[in-house]
Structure 1
């Protein structure tokens, strides 16, 4: 038995300019959790509806603030300044405003909800998050308020990760919080660090610009803060103009009554056409939604400004702000990681040349008929989201877990962020289960609009086994991405859907001039074979992708070149033993700075599939609680049954380092060693 390594190869690795990378809003719910969020909202009826739905998903969100704010449509007024209330609820100590209305309905349902998920927050906790922001006038940011102070404290705290600030009304309370930070720190030695911290941490999502404070204050003074415009039609008053014909039933009085309005306290609080309610005190010429049985002409004669056609009593009105929170749901679509990826909150594109401004205007996914459709990037998910909403409303009235339906679980065995070369065959396996024991089916599909490789792939899929296979086209270029969605549906009522998105980044082609290295086992019998190791060409170094900023860390991906093990040893030589292939990295060094390889992890794989040949278990970096590759880790191994012949091993590399790592071009060496085993 040879005790020393039979072969060792060293791969140089390079990471360029880490700390100066642009703060791209990318994160993986499976890895670091969805970001914290604060909701600012005015008393529009669709804000109430969105708030009711939000609370049904509060077990899956990290809500840290619920803030009353103003907009051009609703403000409290300021008698001292001569500003009258505008479309504001009755000003009275007895008035229950819409956030509190939603929490009251949630409280009446809480005991049932926690039977379905213990992560639902208590009503008391939700009430502790409520604060009054700047509500006196449209665009009011004249003074600090409890709401602006709450936002300020969260932005300045030291918790890792991004904070999504949702502007369901105007962004004026958010603007006041930012101005308070600027007033306190600008001109001090701390300002540059505070500015960089706030910019890296903050994402503002908005349903339109419902006052001028983003344009007049936030953009001029905080130009590097990311803003995502998520005003989708499918969730607003214009839903009937973009919904697919086969999904229009989810807007009807019949479906809404059976699945929403008649289902418990939360459903009863949900606003529908002709429900007899109104938003503001006194006559409001824009609010005719509580009326029924009138034509547009009759409503106009009554003094109303009819800007959307009246609908039958009990029908859907609007939930316009739900796209803000829907993009944060950890349903496997990873919607919040990147504005171009899409999901229940819609999909955005860059707004002009501004690298931190994103809009859904002009984004047109291709519909079922093969033609681009307005708002289809959000409307394509409408049925799934509505059925999921109906299921959660049932949770709110069902005390026994076994008596309601719950979404299936799905994961992808190969991982969700892969790096592959053009021409490679990619095999993916989705593993699914259902908490209720329902039957499930899996469909794989390419989300072409989300990826940067433009053409359609040919997928060979097995619905029953959850597998798919395809070849990356030869014309795919390095850096392009391919997005595949594993969509799993159960067969219960209502049918619920879960997803897992896999993002494949095209790697650099192998260097054709690379030289394979070999090490040979000394002869130990009269007819010896050898155990050899070689590695595919990789150029001068394995280069990591550009940094992705997760708020508290920077992440990089790379692809370990294929390592080939050839074992022709005879039984006398092996004595019923096998071999082990391991890897270990040196520290990453740049000039006077360095960081340990415990920040580097990998997910190994090995081919061909045969008994006795096994890929190593994934090794996580230290920021995910693992040991990293500062210590040897197994890439692949084989016992006596699987050792003979050729085996090919590789791995997806993931490097994660603290966001405050000094900038520079770092390099390290990864040694791959082959050992015989007993």
Structure 2
């Protein structure tokens, strides 16, 4: 076992430096992500992995780790993950025709590793390092200021083991530096490691998302737009229970202009989360011992629950369908591509902030927005009330024009207003881009 792990660890250390992925991005647009998945427990992990792979150009994917969880307490190999990556390998040349930044299948194979072989905190401790836990350490240690978002599609004991080793082998200052770059997006809680992390290392930004069902597309949509589309469609299984329960873990950091993932209350394709930590967000029913770690505090879903995801359903459904189209055509003109949203001359995807006085008017302009296919563009400006500190009504003039005027309420002093530009084209399917402008009223 130790010899096999040593080979994996050499691969991890060398692969993280590969130029095509994991490198610092000067624009700061690409999130760094690691996915841990309990493949084999529920077909939804395979479903979510297909969506992640056709979106792979939007992220710096630094690890794909096979993990355990309360529904699959032991793992032995990466066979299921290899099948999915091999299907991606059959499509990646087509995908590269339509967008830059897709990693090679060879690279993804180099970061496809085994994590902890057994369940929860029973497999965390001295001498229990795994290729997965070592990969997490190597990724966080990389000389890159961007945080590393670990998506826990199963249990999170790979993260726990990484923290355990760093605590045991480094100074308190070095441990603090390590933890400051670590983010965990835990789907439902599927072992006791999450409670252990939250209890003992409260400085880690730890989200436990429990409203992850009810937002996904219908079986009919999946048959027509996903499963019928080439090698990746062929490995997208029918649901057994719910569809794609793990997808919000990477949709939260999807860089589409809608949100800053560090500001978890803003709302995104992955949901919206309260800024106040909550006590006792329990894992799924088979995890029965989290009370041992009470009190532990985590960030949890806001009151909107899954509706914070579903409000964007047309956009993320069409995004997936278009990307599956990309996977089966090697001709750029045979598929649709995303428009580019510009606000007040800013061409990035970052969230903008402006200041205004009560009773004033703020002009927001999407002039300069464009579409690579030269499709017609449609504009919609809206006030996103839920993350805003101002809770009254806001009047927007020319809501569906490129240039809109926001009338700042006279009683909005000291509050902020979150304004969203939702831009889409008239291609097939319609594709969307966003920009968020936060108006701080002084």
Q: Is the 8 A contact 1:232 1:320 kept in 2?
A: no
Q: Is the 8 A contact 1:490 1:497 kept in 2?
A: yes
What is residue 262 of structure 1 aligned with on the other side? 228
Structure having the higher Rg: 1
What is residue 302 of structure 1 aligned with on the other side? none
Deviations 1:274-320 (A, max 9, x none): xxxxxxxxxxxxxxx3xxxxxxxxxxxxxxxxxx6xxxxxxxx5101
Cα distance in 2, alignment partners of residues 98 and 38 from structure 1: 17
Q: Is the 8 A contact 2:207 2:299 kept in 1?
A: yes
Identify which of 52, 59, 80 aligns with 2:50: 52
Q: Report whether the alignment pairs 1:98 with 2:80.
A: yes
Identify which of 365, 385, 400 aligns with 2:331: 400
Deviations 1:203-226 (A, max 9, x none): 11010111111213x123212111
What is residue 124 of structure 2 aligned with on the other side? 141
Q: Is the 8 A contact 1:414 1:428 kept in 2?
A: no
Deviations 1:483-503 (A, max 9, x none): 111111111211111111111
More helix by share: 2
Cα distance in 2, alignment partners of residues 194 and 452 from structure 1: 37
Q: Is the 8 A contact 1:229 1:358 kept in 2?
A: yes
Deviations 1:542-577 (A, max 9, x none): xxxxxxxxxxxxxxxxxxxxxxxxxxxxxxxxxxxx
Q: Report whether the alignment pairs 1:124 with 2:106.
A: yes
What is residue 199 of structure 1 aligned with on the other side? 179
Unaligned runs of 5+ residues in structure 2 are: 1-24, 280-294, 347-351
What is residue 252 of structure 1 aligned with on the other side? 219
Q: Report whether the alignment pairs 1:112 with 2:91.
A: no
Cα distance in 1, alignment partners of residues 186 and 312 from structure 2: 20
Deviations 1:365-423 (A, max 9, x none): xxxxxxxxx52101111221111101000000010111100111111016522122222
Cα distance in 2, alignment partners of residues 179 and 145 from structure 1: 12
Q: How does 1:107-256 map onto structure 2 within 5 Å?
A: 107-139=89-121, 140-142=123-125, 143-185=128-170, 190-191=171-172, 193-216=173-196, 218-233=197-212, 236=213, 239=214, 250-253=217-220, 255-256=221-222
Task: State the shift of 1:425 in Å.
Answer: 1.2
Q: Is the 8 A contact 2:120 2:156 kept in 1?
A: no
Q: Report whether the alignment pairs 1:38 with 2:34.
A: yes
Deviations 1:490-519 (A, max 9, x none): 112111111111112223xxxxxxxxxxxx
Task: State the shift of 1:96 in Å.
Answer: 5.9
Aligned residues: 391
Q: Is the 8 A contact 2:66 2:78 kept in 1?
A: no
More strand by share: 1
SS at match of 1:337: coil
Identify which of 247, 260, 273 aligns with 1:322: 247
What is residue 559 of structure 1 aligned with on the other side? none
Cα distance in 2, alignment partners of residues 355 and 499 from structure 1: 35
Q: Is the 8 A contact 2:371 2:377 kept in 1?
A: yes
Identify which of 287, 298, 315 aligns with 1:357: 298
What is residue 485 of structure 1 aligned with on the other side? 420
SS at match of 2:438: strand
Unaligned runs of 5+ residues in structure 1 are: 1-28, 77-87, 244-249, 274-288, 290-307, 309-316, 365-373, 508-678
SS at match of 1:383: helix
TM-score by length of 1: 0.55
What is residue 379 of structure 2 aligned with on the other side? 442
Q: Is the 8 A contact 1:347 1:377 kept in 2?
A: yes
Deviations 1:234-289 (A, max 9, x none): xx3xx2xx67xxxxxx4033x3222111111111110114xxxxxxxxxxxxxxx3
SS at match of 2:278: coil
What is residue 472 of structure 1 aligned with on the other side? 408
Q: Is the 8 A contact 1:411 1:430 kept in 2?
A: yes
Cα distance in 2, alignment partners of residues 141 and 119 from structure 1: 35
Identify which of 424, 433, 446 aligns with 2:370: 433
Task: State the shift of 1:197 in Å.
Answer: 1.2
Q: Is the 8 A contact 2:412 2:441 kept in 1?
A: yes
Between stretches 428-437 and 168-177, larger displacement belongs to: 428-437
Change in Cα spacing, 1:111 to 1:158, as seen in structure 2 (3 Å) is closer
State the superposition RMSD in angstroms. 2.2
Task: State the shift of 1:355 in Å.
Answer: 12
Task: State the shift of 1:163 in Å.
Answer: 1.0
TM-score by length of 2: 0.84
Change in Cα spacing, 1:355 to 1:343, as seen in structure 2 (3 Å) is farther
Cα distance in 1, alignment partners of residues 431 and 261 from structure 2: 21
